[in-house]
Chain A
Amino acid sequence: METQTAPGRFGRYGGRYVPETLVPALLELEQAYAEARKDPAFDEQVSQVLREYVGRETPLTPARRLTELWRGAEVWLKREDLAHTGAHKINNTIGQVLLAKRMGKKRIIAETGAGQHGVATATACALFGLPCEVFMGAVDVERQSLNVFRMKALGAKVHPVESGSRTLKDAMNEAMRIWVSQVEDTYYVIGSAAGPHPYPTIVRDFQAVIGREIRTQSLVAFGRLPDAVIACIGGGSNAIGALHPFVEDKQVRLVGVEAGGHGLDSGQHGASLTLGTEGVLHGSRSLVLQDENGQIIEAHSISAGLDYPGVGPELAYLAKTGRLEVRTATDEEALKAFYLVSRTEGILPALESSHAFARAGDLARELGKGKHLVVNCSGRGDKDVATIAARGIPAAIGQEGA
């Protein structure tokens, strides 16, 4: 199944809905990226940095105790939490910052929600010697103070964004505004597989290393492809990266888990694939949370990386065509899963990844014994400990877990 139906289009989704000022920059980026992809030297350069610096490939870890607990499919964890900076985000920023350098850009801007993309961008900029400015919602600056410190320590300038809901969507608006005014020499590193064409394609391509590794590692570990791969979805970069290489393998179930927040009925969630309608946000047509007048509704999730009211256009297309199964997990379920994975596997997953874990138990039981389930552990939970600790640490957790 070819998901890209035309340049920049995934079925009805995708496109390039931006101010005219940005269009020439996006055309330039599209061309530069096409040339870079044809250049084996660029590919080798990216691969080398991923190997030597990021620590790829990341392991595929058997989750023996979760497997035992859930009494279903054998559970495997793709350990993006072990990538340098602690999340999958680094795969994309290494690629894009190298692309920016190749294009002769003088400085880098980025937006960030949970801060993982901001940290990953700041890291790549430090490594390659480019100045970096990160836009972050003021609410997120508060709840992700560890990552704010990390960005600053890495030499990046962090701009708190005070408009709108003061979270990721507003940080993205602000980054776009700044980009419009400095488009000649500035490269905007988008962190999710969203935004105007060609970003959804670029981010997906740089993140697809996750799914390619899952393929080869599965063949080595259990001699065949997994029966299902599950990942959390905010904007969707870890999900599209883990899932895209399996789109053509019909026997592999692809499952995405969105932020259910306080519950789908509460109106406070980030479930744009489940409850969103077609619209245009941040330069692409996709499924978005909006009211009947076309105003974007603020998303909610305990996880700063998932409270985004949009989703990448390719995931919207995969969901609409039925190739991607979409589920949700509430804040409470994600928290429970966080402790479950921490205490059964010795891994503190990011709250984003905890959403995937929250649905992984059901899926493992559905699949049943003798099957193999891969959970994308997209990032580590260190950044979230303040949020989680504030709710009090439970002495024990239910054995059924998530």
Chain B
Amino acid sequence: MSGEIAEAFARARARGEGALVAYAMAGDPDLPGSVDVFAACVEGGADILEIGVAFSDPIADGPVIQGASERALKAGSTLKRVLDEVVPAVRARCPQTPLVVMTYVNVVMAMGEERYAKLARERGVSGTILPDLPPEESTGIRVAFDKEGLELIPLCAPTTSPTRAESIAKDARGFVYCVSVAGVTGMRSELPANLSERLELVRRLSPVPVVAGFGISNAEQARVVGAHADGVVVGSAIVRAAQADGPAAARQVCADIKRGLKR
């Protein structure tokens, strides 16, 4: 199943679109309810699903995803239950869509890196994003993931120097997640002016697709950013819509973003 992520990007490109990586929180409002949200995102046009696994201390997240994390924990969400109950259900409903888990390193460490990698691949997860695991600390986990063919997707930040960006991009698996703003996840009314240059730089260096995320919440932002990247990640806007008005609202956000990603 390795290469699923690459195929999803290729399919979007062939249709003349940027790819939409849609993030939602597994277990928000509850485990089965979140499956409906993920499926709705795919109906709305999401090309890759990013499955958030809650952590009690999410230092990379803003208030919207923090809130979702707290709700998911209250609903009994754990990494094990997400892999056992949410991932297979999403997989059954959206068999063509690659799944990527996003959580914090402590959650994976608690399960054990190797056990996680094996279980995640068995359940049909293609990749994993750990926002508090910079390259210096990732060697051990990468070995465990590579062994199972689970792609460890790296992040690149606005503060990352070009030399550092080069080494991050060169070693990337799956795709490079370019953080568009210095800050935490959450919607922004404006994105930095130099974002397009940074995206182009990382794209030149990276053997895998490059997406931008953090702060992107509407079609216009997706259009501007999508012109310089292979796709975008949208999280807080989907989480907020789903919390307020259910799966249909999440589908609507995805459809809107997808319109902005048409080339």
Contacts and interface: CB of A to CB of B under 8 A. Distances in A.
Interface of A: 15-25, 163-164, 169-170, 173, 176-177, 180-184, 278-283, 288, 290, 292-296
Nearest to A8: B136
B106 A181 contact: no
Given A16-B137, A181-B184, A278-B109, 5 more contacts: A21-B179, A173-B58, A177-B59, A177-B184, A290-B110
Nearest to B154: A20
A176 B60 CA distance: 8
Contact of A176 (B59, B133, B155, B158): B59
A283 B132 contact: yes
A20 B107 contact: no
A258 to B, nearest CB: 20
B90 interface: no
A280 B108 CA distance: 10
**Would you list the 4 A-B pairs with minimal beta carbon distance, nearest first?**
A294-B110, A181-B183, A21-B157, A293-B78
A169 B134 contact: no
Contact of B179 (A20, A163, A282): A20
Contact of A294 (B62, B107, B159, B181): B107
Contact of B184 (A169, A180, A283): A180
Interface string B177-200: 001011110000000000000000
Contacts of A182: 182
A164 B157 CA distance: 27
A184 B79 contact: no
A183 B78 CA distance: 32
A164 B57 contact: yes
Given A16-B137, A294-B107, A180 B182 contact: yes
A25 B159 contact: yes
Given A173-B59, A180-B182, A19 B132 contact: yes
A344 B59 CA distance: 45
B133 A17 contact: yes
Given A177-B59, A292-B110, A294-B110, A24 B66 contact: no
Contacts of A184: 159, 182
B160 A281 contact: no
Contact of A19 (B78, B110, B155): B155
A16 B158 CA distance: 18
Contacts of A282: 57, 59
23 contacts: A16-B136, A17-B133, A17-B134, A19-B157, A20-B154, A20-B168, A21-B179, A21-B182, A22-B159, A24-B164, A25-B159, A173-B58, A173-B59, A180-B183, A180-B184, A182-B182, A279-B109, A280-B132, A293-B80, A293-B110, A294-B79, A295-B107, A296-B56
Contacts of A296: 56-57, 106
A281 B156 contact: no
B131 interface: yes
Interface of B: 54-62, 66, 70, 73, 78-80, 104-111, 131-134, 136-137, 154-161, 164, 168, 179, 181-184
Given A17-B132, A181-B182, A281-B57, A294 B109 contact: yes
Contacts of B179: 19-21
Contacts of B70: 163-164
Prevailing SS type, chain B contact patch: loop
Given A164-B57, A295-B55, A15 B137 contact: yes
Nearest to A23: B134
A176 B66 CA distance: 14
A212 B74 CA distance: 48
A183 B111 contact: no
B134 A20 contact: yes
B105 A295 contact: no
Nearest to A295: B56
B233 to A, nearest CB: 14
Contacts of A19: 59-60, 131-132, 134, 155, 157, 179
A18 B110 contact: no
A17 B141 CA distance: 13
Contact of B111 (A173, A177, A294): A294
A31 to B, nearest CB: 13
Contacts of B111: 293-294
Contacts of A173: 57-59
Contacts of B158: 21
Nearest to B105: A280
A22 B59 CA distance: 11
Contacts of A293: 78-80, 107, 110-111
B182 A17 contact: no
A24 B159 contact: yes
Contacts of B184: 177, 180-181
Nearest to B214: A21
Nearest to B103: A294
**Which of A16, A170, A280, A288 has the most chain B CB within a 10 Å cutoff?**
A280
B60 to A, nearest CB: 5
A20 B59 contact: no
Given A283-B132, A290-B110, A20 B157 contact: yes
